[in-house]
Amino acid sequence: MKKVGLVILILSFWLYSVGGIFAQTSFKFQSDSIVFVDNANSFDELLKKFEGHMVYIDFWGSWCSPCLTELLPHEETDNFLKSNEIIRLYIALEKMENDSALQNKSKERWKENVSKFNLKGFNYYVQLRSEFFKGITEKIMKGKLSLPRFAIIDKQGVIVDNDAPGPAKTEALIKRFNKYLKQK
């Protein structure tokens, strides 16, 4: 009976720590691992998970060749983001699938791409034309889909740049971030 209690205690602690990854007090900066985020109902809700941290968002799609080029490693950019504890958030915008089997295949392709490109940071999957997607197009893309697209979110969760340079434009991106980092 004591073993069952111990197992329950250990599982409870583990579930609390995993579930609390986004809590303000227990958030752990993730830059060296791939984290799949799947528990946000809206773009605003997703951004709230990162309040207290600056976020660099990469909006991409597996069907977008320029997006895939931007997913290639950019060591100087990656080092800058990591050294400044800037959260890397990748939001994949994928074709709307009504059939659950096709949706599952789409999500598997997304996960394969995340692994293939080693997208360390937080990864989120969104279907085009969904309510979640509408929040992105309204707040970031001003009503029109435009990929690849990059955005910077400040520590208060405010979109400070909805058309930031991509990671391949290291010098311009670092200059832009330094402007916002000074505003701490």
Tell me how far apart the 2 most distant CA atoms of the chain are, in Å. Answer: 61
Is residue 11 assigned to a domain? no
Task: Return d(Cα 32, Cα 119) in angstroms, integer.
Answer: 9
- Mean pLDDT (the chain) is 83
Read off the pLDDT of residues 73-111 as tens digits, 9 standing for 90 and up: 999 999 999 999 999 999 999 988 888 899 899 999 999
Mean pLDDT check: name the lowest of 22-36, 62-76, 78-92, 122-136.
22-36
Q: Residue 112 domain-assigned?
A: yes
Q: What is the mean pLDDT of the segment spanning 33-56? A: 90
**pTM of the predicted model as reported, rounded to 2 decimal places:** 0.81
* Domain-located, residue 121: yes
Q: Is residue 28's pLDDT more than 70?
A: no
Residue 25: pLDDT above 50? no
Identify whether 1 is part of a domain: no
> Is position 145 within any domain?
yes
pLDDT higher than 80, residue 26 = no
Residue 35 within any structural domain of the chain: yes
Q: Which domain holds residue 106?
A: 25-181
Beta strands in 128-171 (DSSP E): 149-153, 159-161
Alpha carbon distance 77, 62 (integer Å): 22
Name residue 97's amino acid: E
pLDDT at 182: 85
Q: Which of 12, 60, 21, 53 is nearest to 40 (CA)?
A: 21
Instruction: Return the CATH number at 160.
Output: 3.40.30.10
Residue (of 142, 12, 56, 67) closest to 47 by Cα position: 56
Q: Residue 82: inside a domain, yes or no? A: yes
What percent of the chain is predicted at pLDDT more than 90?
Answer: 59
* Residue 163 in domain: yes
| 147: its two tokens | 């990929």
How many domains does the structure of the chain reveal?
A: 1
